Amino acid sequence: MHKIDIELVEMTLDVMKYAIDRISHTKPKVGKPQKAEELKALVGETVTPKGIGGEYAFNLWKQHLAKANVPVDHPRNLAFVPAAPTRAAVMFDLVTSASSIHGAYWMEGAGGIFCENEAMKWIVSLTGLPEGAFGVFTSGGTAANLSAIVTAREHWREDDTYKREKGLIITSIGAHSSIKAMAKVADVDIMLVDTEEKLSGKALRETIDNLNFHQRKRLFAVVATGGTTNAGIIDDLEGIAEVCDAEKIWFHVDAAYGGGALAADSVRHLFNGIERADSITIDPHKWMFSPYDCGAVIYRRPEFAKKAHSQDGSYLDIFKDEGAHGFNPTDYQIQLTRRVRGLPLWFSLATHGTDKYKESVERGIELAQIAGKMIEEDPNVELVREPSLSCVLYRRIGWKPEDYTHWTYENHSKGFALVTPTKWKNGDAFETVSRFCFINPDTTEEDIRMILDTMA
């Protein structure tokens, strides 16, 4: 399979050319999904006993399939949490793939894992966690949250009193859906404090005080959010840390989206208290300009994670080679075989320097402030709440939910922009509103202006 022949060289050059082309386009097409049946009709059978040939398959990709994706890095893609991987990171993602590195064990992936760990040291330094804290790259925030929840639960259950108890977690309704989903996976119950605004230490205190004896016994962790996905709200981490400390429960901060903002001096104070967390989730593939997929979980005491997650690779002990012994990423999260997915981030950090990251995150925050001002000055729209981090929630005066849906569809089908509505809790009801989330530093004021104009 590895015989170098002309055809293979040509194919490689074609693929490289395509990749270079895609990386150098700062404004790719917005892209539009199509039904599976339509795609099938366009491309026909592609997986066949004899194969259809690389050139033909690649052409199908370019002509039809690539266009049915919605690139997350378009400067007018402000939906959900978009992304904007740096070119350096994307290039090194190619290198990561080409290098075939098994990233579970130091023995096989020392060079790659070393680089990952250098990048991780910077991320950990942003949190302010004490000496000894460390983390590992995961497939995303979901896997990071699961890894942290399982670590917390296993640590709690080391005490015989809790061995046969089903655990309980407290978080708020502003928490990301993955917290609820992963609680299910870990078979722990979850209690939601009913606020989409900032979860305060006081509200947490009251919730705990209202637990019955058995519930209190089962409570082993609190999950705070460091930048809610919907609105960029950062919980009262200091107040929550205080309560967790007093109650001796695990304090997890889910900063999958907001974590990048730890690098931004203008908002860093909002995260005060994060340095008291037992574990933290941060997604470099959200606001640290990494390609998918790259999440991270960080522990104050990594040895607890090792106890919970190590798959006992005792066969590793047979290696005499001194160099084979080092940090094994598999020990600290749920996955065994893994891509060294922090490697692209390392190359990008090494290329650009951390100041550039700081500036690029600040730009997202600035764009949210700029959008907020434009909305205030525009008679057709109004802010639902002050912009927070890089999220802006606003309403078009007089619009019903279906107007937002139609507006999103129109802008998207024209290939102009992707801006999606969301729901915001307004009293007891949920209101449909519009939402911007800025990540891409190449988004301009003009982009925002043009989008708002389509609401006139």
The least distance separating ligand PLP from the CB of residue 373, rounded to whole angstroms, comes to 25
In this structure, the strands spanning 279-282 and 421-426 are unpaired
Distance CA 361, CA 448 (A): 17
Peptide bond into 209 cis (omega under 30): no
Distance CA 430, CA 142 (A): 25
Between residues 204 and 381, which has the closer beta carbon with respect to ligand PLP?
204
Between residues 241 and 381, which has the closer beta carbon with respect to ligand PLP?
241
Between residues 283 and 447, which has the closer beta carbon with respect to ligand PLP?
283
Q: Is 257 left (phi over 0), alpha (psi -120 to 50) or beta?
A: alpha
What number of other Cβ atoms are within 10 A of residue 385's Cβ? Answer: 17
The least distance separating ligand PLP from the CB of residue 80, rounded to whole angstroms, comes to 8
The least distance separating ligand PLP from the CB of residue 348, rounded to whole angstroms, comes to 18
Between residues 81 and 169, which has the closer beta carbon with respect to ligand PLP?
81
Between residues 146 and 367, which has the closer beta carbon with respect to ligand PLP?
146
The least distance separating ligand PLP from the CB of residue 279, rounded to whole angstroms, comes to 13
Distance CA 341, CA 85 (A): 13
Between residues 200 and 228, which has the closer beta carbon with respect to ligand PLP?
228
Chain residues in the site for ligand PLP (CB under 6 A): 81, 140-142, 145, 176, 178, 225, 229, 254, 256-257, 283, 295
- The answer to whether the CB of 443 falls within 8 A of the CB of 75 is yes
- The answer to whether the CB of 291 falls within 8 A of the CB of 93 is yes
Between residues 171 and 411, which has the closer beta carbon with respect to ligand PLP?
171
The least distance separating ligand PLP from the CB of residue 225, rounded to whole angstroms, comes to 6
3-state DSSP assignment of residue 422: strand
- Output the six-digit token pair for 247: 């109650």
Residue type, 214: H
The least distance separating ligand PLP from the CB of residue 294, rounded to whole angstroms, comes to 8
Peptide bond into 293 cis (omega under 30): yes
Distance CA 136, CA 145 (A): 12
The least distance separating ligand PLP from the CB of residue 224, rounded to whole angstroms, comes to 10
